[in-house]
Amino acid sequence: MRLLIVSDTHIPRRARELPAQVRDEAERADVVVHAGDWVDLASLEDLRARARRLVGVYGNNDGPELRERLPEVARVTLEGVCLAVVHETGQAKGREKRCAERFGDADALVFGHSHIPWDSTAPNGLRLLNPGSPTDRRRQPHHTYMTATAADGRLSDVRLHRIGVD
């Protein structure tokens, strides 16, 4: 099962639409995972129309319309991989420990908020993934998103993509 992992799209504040590279990935993916800060309802509806299946949460920049349609935390099992999704996890220092305590029943946690790509593993084996942002790189060198494969209870082929480079 092919996953597209995105967060912090901030449409239309940071871009008018998702980059073509991300739109194409959404149409190829079996599941699109979005870790919040959509900003407008139209971006949710656009991605939902492109995706075979969408798993998403709201972020701190998402207003009432998005909060009515999306949870703060999502949990799904994809090909035996227990995946949790949340927007914010707090500061980087101590993140693995905090997330392992809060999401200890998951195999992987997708989060956003910082716009900083992140891929680490907590001592309990929880994999933490932040895809960065495809539209608002802040101080990062590139706009980014991730892809991964879920199969046989494992998350593999996790890859960070740079917009316009990959």
The mean per-residue pLDDT over the stretch 34-61 comes to: 96
pTM, 2 dp:
0.96
State the DSSP code for 79: T
b/e 114-149 (16+ beta carbons within 10 angstroms → b): bbbbbeeebeeebbbbbbbbbbbbeeeebbbbbbbb
The mean per-residue pLDDT over the stretch 65-71 comes to: 97
Query: 125-141, pLDDT tens digit by residue?
Result: 999 999 999 999 888 89
- How much is the pLDDT for 44? 95
pLDDT above 80 for 165: no
Q: What percent of the chain has pLDDT over 70?
A: 99
